[in-house]
């Protein structure tokens, strides 16, 4: 039987190799960015809000950043719509705002233009990018340059995780009582511990599923949405990603026999136990449930389950994405697709910014 983690030539896919590089990438990024926290605190002095600017996978990282800033740092945060700047050219008073632009390449024209717009509106600017010297990094007041190293595969894996690290460092810097440093130090080992997980049954189930939805909640919502996006990008399957609350409303009515629901659960925190109720609800409607992480109760209820990290909820998303990446890479190989070069995608995404 062919190893789904290897190319036809017998070597590992670039995506699989880059997933395996993530413990080192996380450790380098933590060590590089934590010393930037005093600069971040000085920059944010007197400013009350954070506005996050991103697209694609970076937008899913920003969703985690938004939750973390509000839950752990007590700082009001929101996701920006870049077209407000690039197309509508609205003039906003951002003098009390730190605008954080997230782009792995630092070269997406729409994000670079939005950062410049934010500065013109009075914002302090922070760039999160994997490329030192990129236009985004060069123009920001503070550049948080992640240390993932070059990423060759088109799907973002190690750069996405490094963005989560950067946003955790940022939130910790802006909180009144920084408290994440010790938990961040546990992340690289937690990621390494997940790399040996057997995700073959999950990949097989996903490859054979006619319909798939993905859901998560709270700090893990971004992980769920990134899982859905990666499945669409890499495996060319239409997959809907929902928050727990959105799925429990209108979309729950379409759940029936033949649906595979991927649920990303937290092992800790106030939203951990309700995910078990969602498993029961979905199974009662005929769906099969593939769970990632979560509580012991949640794991026991799922039809298929992959263990998640043993980390506090605030930093759990930094590692919980890893099993998803692994199963999606294997899913792509089972579908005879090249996970390194998904059809129609490029490494740097350029959104239309025509005037």
- Token digits for 333? 């190989």
Nearest residue to 248 (alpha-carbon basis) of 227, 217, 212, 219:
217
Q: Please say whether the beta carbons of 180 and 47 come within 8 A.
A: no
Domains of the chain, earliest start first: 14-185 (3.40.50.10490), 197-334 (3.40.50.10490)
Question: What is the value of pTM for the model shown?
Answer: 0.94
Specify which residues 291 forms β-bridges with: 263, 305
Q: Please say whether the beta carbons of 298 and 326 come within 8 A.
A: no
Task: Walk along the chain (355 residues) and give the pLDDT tens digit of each residue.
Answer: 334 445 544 568 999 999 999 999 999 999 999 999 999 999 999 999 999 999 999 999 999 999 999 999 999 999 999 999 999 999 999 999 999 999 999 999 999 999 999 999 999 999 999 999 999 999 999 999 999 999 999 999 999 999 999 999 999 999 988 789 899 999 999 999 999 999 999 999 999 999 999 999 999 999 999 999 999 999 999 999 999 889 888 788 889 899 999 999 999 989 889 999 999 999 999 999 999 999 999 999 999 999 999 999 999 999 999 999 999 999 999 999 999 999 866 665 555 544 3
Q: Please say whether the beta carbons of 112 and 213 come within 8 A.
A: no
Give the 3-state DSSP-derived string for the chain, with helices as H, strands as E and coil as C: CCCCCECCCCCECHHHHHHHCHHHHHHHHHHHHHHHHHHHHHHHCCCCEEEEECCHHHHHHHHHHHHHHHHCCCCCEEECCHHHHHCCCCCCCCCCEEEEEECCCCCCHHHHHHHHHHHHCCCEEEEEECCCCCHHHHHCCEEEECCCCCCCCCCCCHHHHHHHHHHHHHHHHHCCCCCCHHHHHHHHHHHHHHCCCCCHHHHHHHHHCCEEEEEECHHHHHHHHHHHHHHHHHHCCCCEEEEHHHHHCHHHHHCCCCEEEEEEECCCCCCCCHHHHHHHHHHHCCCEEEEEECCHHHHHHCCEEECCCCCCCCCCHHHHHHHHHHHHHHHHHHCCCCCCCCCCCCCCCCCCCCC
> What local confidence, expressed as pLDDT, does residue 345 receive?
66
Q: How far apart are CA 331 and CA 208, in angstroms?
A: 9
> What local confidence, expressed as pLDDT, does residue 252 receive?
85
């Amino acid at each position: 039987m062919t190893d789904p983690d290897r190319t036809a030539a017998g070597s590992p896919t670039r995506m699989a190799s880059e997933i395996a590089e993530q413990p080192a990438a996380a450790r380098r990024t933590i060590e590089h960015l934590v010393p930037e926290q005093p600069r971040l605190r000085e920059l944010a002095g007197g400013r009350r809000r954070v506005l996050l600017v991103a697209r694609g996978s970076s937008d899913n990282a920003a969703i985690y950043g938004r939750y973390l800033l509000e839950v752990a740092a007590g700082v009001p945060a929101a996701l920006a719509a870049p077209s407000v700047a690039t197309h509508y050219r609205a003039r906003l008073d951002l003098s009390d705002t730190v605008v954080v632009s997230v782009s792995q390449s630092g070269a997406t024209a729409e994000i670079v233009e939005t950062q410049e717009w934010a500065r013109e509106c009075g914002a302090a600017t922070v760039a999160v990018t994997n490329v030192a010297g990129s236009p985004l990094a060069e123009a920001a007041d503070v550049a948080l340059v992640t240390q993932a190293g070059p990423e060759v595969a088109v799907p973002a894996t190690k750069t996405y995780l490094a963005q989560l690290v950067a946003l955790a460092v940022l939130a910790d810097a802006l909180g009144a009582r920084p408290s994440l440093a010790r938990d961040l130090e546990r992340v690289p080992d937690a990621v390494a511990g997940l790399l040996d997980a057997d995700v073959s049954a999950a990949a097989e189930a996903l490859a054979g599923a006619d319909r798939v939805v993905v859901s998560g909640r709270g700090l893990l919502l971004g992980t769920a949405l990134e899982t859905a996006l990666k499945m669409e990008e890499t495996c060319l399957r239409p997959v809907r990603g929902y928050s727990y609350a959105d799925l429990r409303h209108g979309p729950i009515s379409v759940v029936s026999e033949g649906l595979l629901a991927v649920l990303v659960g937290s092992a800790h925190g106030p939203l951990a136990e309700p995910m078990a109720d969602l498993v029961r609800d979905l199974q009662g409607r005929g769906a099969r449930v593939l769970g990632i992480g979560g509580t012991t109760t949640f794991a026991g209820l799922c039809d298929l389950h992959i263990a998640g990290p043993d980390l506090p909820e605030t930093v759990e998303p930094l590692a919980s994405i890893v099993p998803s990446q692994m199963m999606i890479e294997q899913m792509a190989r089972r579908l005879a697709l090249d996970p390194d070069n998904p059809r129609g995608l490029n490494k740097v995404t350029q959104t239309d910014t025509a005037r």
